[in-house]
Amino acid sequence: MACFTAVIFLFGFINLSAENKGTCDVYAAVGQSPVLPLAYEKLANSHVLRWTHNNTIVFYRQQGRVSVGKPDDISATGSLMLRNVKFSSAGAYRADVLQHNGTLAKTWASRLCVIDKAPKPEVRYVCDFKSSAVNLECVVAKPEDLEFSWTLDKKTLPSETSPRLRISLNQLKGERSFTCSVSNRASRDTSDTVHPTCKTPPPPSLLCFTSTTVTGAVAGGAALTLLLITIIVALCCCKRCNKTQMRVKNKGELRMLSMNRRELDSIGPEYETMHPTETHPLPSPQPSPRACYHKVSQPEAETANKPPQLSAAAEGQKPSPVPKPRTKNPQTTSI
């Protein structure tokens, strides 16, 4: 009995030493199922097998009978198989194998550390034609405490451990494939395969206009064209309105002229019919006085010298004063 107590005290001392030990011997990522190895090939049902986590018994078997834990938690060699570990699963683990008489047959102690799983990286590349190279980068969210590695055509590049890789364009002849991998103490993950394609860019334009400038110029031209079209349409509408007003005005004037002409035509002929115009015959040319003197006899000369006398009938009738109408072709009497 004293011997068994001494063994238990020794187990507790060793376990305390493992807890005080700050280093981690086994690493596991969240969600993984690590195996804590005991590897005791002589393990039999007659042995007592006990596993503790931070001084708490998580598995106990004696004489082939499991009183704590499940039989599937232990391998044939006594290793403890953890499933879907969490951060709370970290800590000090200890395994003890005792003979049927209580003597220690084998012991194993270690500390488990549970960390985040390594993230999946992404490969990005940029073609640098000035230096005739391609720059690749392995991008992850949190690059701290991660190790990087590169593969070219599924062959690891042992000297490349940086998240950035630079390859000459001459090495890209043909279809080349690149992948990058990140790893921590518990897990490892690899990116998708990337096939960089770096085509020679076209020669620069002579005008050296950027796409933004060209787009702005096209937009400005379209706006100016729309403005000009709007102005032309407005001018055409104004001109058409002016023509319409002129036509209406001309029609009104023509109508007034037509009415005045009709009035003149209705008044002129009737008036001239009622008051005919008198025509005065032109006086015949008079002979010279000397010729008359020689040709006319004495009595005729006396008669000619007398003033003209009107007949009694002509004297009795006096013409009524009538205003002379407007004549179309007035004639002047020559003296």
Verify that 105 and 154 share a domain, yes or no: no
pLDDT tens string 166-197: 999 888 887 889 999 999 999 999 999 999 98
- Written as six digits, the tokens of 288 are 């010279």
Q: Is the pLDDT of residue 46 over 70?
A: yes
* Cα distance between residue 100 and residue 6, in whole Å: 16
Query: Considering 190, 207, 237, which residue would you say is the last residue of a domain?
Result: 190
101: domain range?
2-115
Same domain (yes/no): 30, 60: yes
Please give the Cα distance from 44 to 111 (Å, whole number): 26
Token code pair at residue 106: 């084998």
Domain-embedded: residue 257: no
Task: Clarify whether residues 23 and 102 are in a common domain.
Answer: yes
What residues have CB less than 8 Å from 91, skipping those under 6 apart? Answer: 19, 53, 54, 111, 112
76 and 26 part of one domain: yes
Identify the domain boundary among 97, 115, 133: 115
Average pLDDT of the segment spanning 61-66: 90
86 inside domain: yes
**Domain presence at residue 81:** yes
Determine, yes or no, domain membership for 316.
no
pLDDT range class, residue 314, cuts 50, 70, 90: very low
Per-residue confidence (pLDDT) for residue 22, from 0 to 100: 60
Say if residues 53 and 98 touch (Cβ distance below 8 Å): no
Q: What is the pLDDT of residue 92?
A: 95
Cβ(147)–Cβ(182) under 8 Å?
yes
Between these two residues, 209 and 179, which has the higher pLDDT value? 179
Structure tokens at 41: 């090939």
Would you place residue 212 in the very low, low, confident or very high pLDDT band (cuts 50, 70, 90)?
confident
Residues 89 and 128 in one domain: no
Residue 234 predicted with pLDDT over 60: yes
Alpha-carbon distance 5 to 26, whole Å? 30
The number of angstroms, rounded, from the C-alpha of 175 to the middle of its chain's C-alpha atoms is 34
- Per cent of the chain over pLDDT 90 is 39
Give pLDDT, residue 204. 55
pTM of the model: 0.50
Q: Are 75 and 35 in contact (CB under 8 A)?
A: yes
Among the listed ranges 25-29, 78-82, 138-142, 211-215, which one has the minimum average pLDDT value? 211-215
Residues 178 and 132 in one domain: yes
Say if 205 falls within a structural domain. Answer: no
Same-domain pairing of 105 and 17? yes
Distances, alpha carbon 234 to alpha carbons 226, 237, 243, in Å: 12, 5, 14
pLDDT of amino acid 58: 95
- End position of a domain, from candidates 190, 206, 226: 190
Q: Which long-range contacts (CB under 8 A, 24 or more apart) does 208-213 make?
A: none
Q: Are residues 82 and 154 in the same domain?
A: no
Alpha-carbon span 145 to 59, nearest angstrom: 34
Expressed in angstroms, the distance from the first to the final Cα of the chain is: 188
Residue-wise pLDDT for 123-134, tens only, equals 999 999 998 899
- Domain count for the chain: 2
The answer to whether residue 292 scores a pLDDT higher than 60 is no
In terms of domains, do 58 and 83 share one? yes
Q: CB neighbours of 257 closer than 8 A, spacing ≥ 6? A: none
244 domain-assigned = no
Same domain assignment for residues 60 and 90? yes
- CA 307, distance to chain mean position in Å, is 120
Whether 270 has a pLDDT exceeding 80, the answer reads no
Asked, for residue 203, whether it belongs to a domain, the answer is no
Average pLDDT for residues 94-105, to the nearest whole number? 90
What pLDDT is stored for residue 286 in this prediction?
53
Same domain, 25 and 109: yes
Is 169 contained in some domain?
A: yes
Whether residue 109 is found in the same domain as residue 12: yes
Dist CA 28 CA 115 (whole Å): 6
